[in-house]
Amino acid sequence: MVNRVDLDQILEDLDATTALDGLQNIAEKLRNAFRVDHIVYHWVDSAGEQYGCGTYCEAWVNHYVAQNYIRIDPVIVGCFQRFHPVDWKQLDWSGKAARQFLSDALAHGVGNQGFSIPIRGPVGQFALFTVNHTCDDDAWAEFAEANNRDLILIGHFFNRKALEFETGRQPEPARALSPREVDSITLLAMGYNRAQVADTLSISEHTLRVYIESARFKLGALNTTHAIARAMSRGLIVV
């Protein structure tokens, strides 16, 4: 288990970071705290510009860029249309290009297990926060179960900090959601239907509807699904 004191200190260091280069140091500290092989943060904006930091070896990073692997990387492709964290075993590695990519990655020291958190930011930004390790399936399942919520929070915090250094990509100001609005949207994002949400929160469905519509208005969303997506992309809710 990660040491909570160490993790809290790392998050304080992350909050105090004042430049993109500082995120590399934070990634290394997180890798050591979670005792995994790699921590990686990678973003792509709407114009195709990329930024990344993490603990993959320089040879793999350079090779990845030279081969333009972003086009076929099953992690990028598989996470692009998703909002929830993804275990790499859930992705499609069956194609010839994907199998070759995996073989190449393993040869460069990338671990056989991965957990990636898709993050969507302003003006078309798409980012992934990834934890990567080498171990068997049982050990990885135990690690993911113990740490997934911390990793989701850290991933969104990491992305928000990165955006602070790119003024052109700053998210638009958002009105704060109330605690009840956050609870309502979070439970809906987890797959609860409205009756189940109302029952869990001990409120009527009419009151729930008020919370949902209020959250939708604050987020500038077209419908409930859009509100959930916007709340997640801004780190307002974590699932």
Give the whole-angstrom CA distance, residue 86 versus residue 90. 7
Contact assessment for residue 219 and residue 188, using Cβ atoms and an 8 Å cutoff: no
Give the whole-angstrom CA distance, residue 18 versus residue 54. 17
Say what the pLDDT of residue 153 is.
Answer: 83
Say what the pLDDT of residue 159 is.
Answer: 85
Strand order in the sheet with 50-54: 50-54, 38-44, 126-133, 113-120, 86-87
234: Cβ contacts below 8 Å, ≥ 6 apart: 171, 174, 219
Mean pLDDT of 15-38: 93
First to last CA, the chain: 21
Alpha helices in 35-136 (DSSP H): 58-66, 74-80, 96-107
Topology classification of domain 4-169: Beta-Lactamase (3.30.450)
User: Domain coordinates of the chain in residue numbers?
Assistant: 4-169, 179-233
pLDDT digits (tens, 9 = 90+) for 92-142: 999 999 999 999 999 999 999 999 999 876 666 789 999 999 999 999 999
User: CA distances (Å), 52 to each of 34, 108, 117, 192, 202, in order?
Assistant: 20, 17, 14, 35, 44
The CATH number given to 179-233 is 1.10.10.10
**In CATH terms, are 4-169 and 179-233 the same topology?**
no
Q: Which stretch of 41-50, 180-189, 202-211 has the lowest confidence by average pLDDT?
A: 41-50
**Residues in the chain, overall count:** 239
pLDDT digits (tens, 9 = 90+) for 208-218: 998 998 888 88
Query: What is the reported pTM?
Result: 0.70
Say what the pLDDT of residue 45 is.
Answer: 65
| Higher pLDDT pick, 148 / 121 | 148
Question: Which residue in the block uniquely carries the two structure tokens 């638009």?
Answer: 172
pLDDT above 70 (res 234): yes
Q: Where are the beta strands (DSSP E) in the chain?
A: 38-44, 50-54, 86-87, 113-120, 126-133
Say what the pLDDT of residue 227 is.
Answer: 86
Q: With CA atoms as reference, report the closest residue to 231 among 120, 124, 151, 123.
A: 120
| Higher pLDDT pick, 69 / 47 | 69
Dihedrals phi, psi of 231, to nearest 5 degrees: -65, -40
Say what the pLDDT of residue 167 is.
Answer: 54
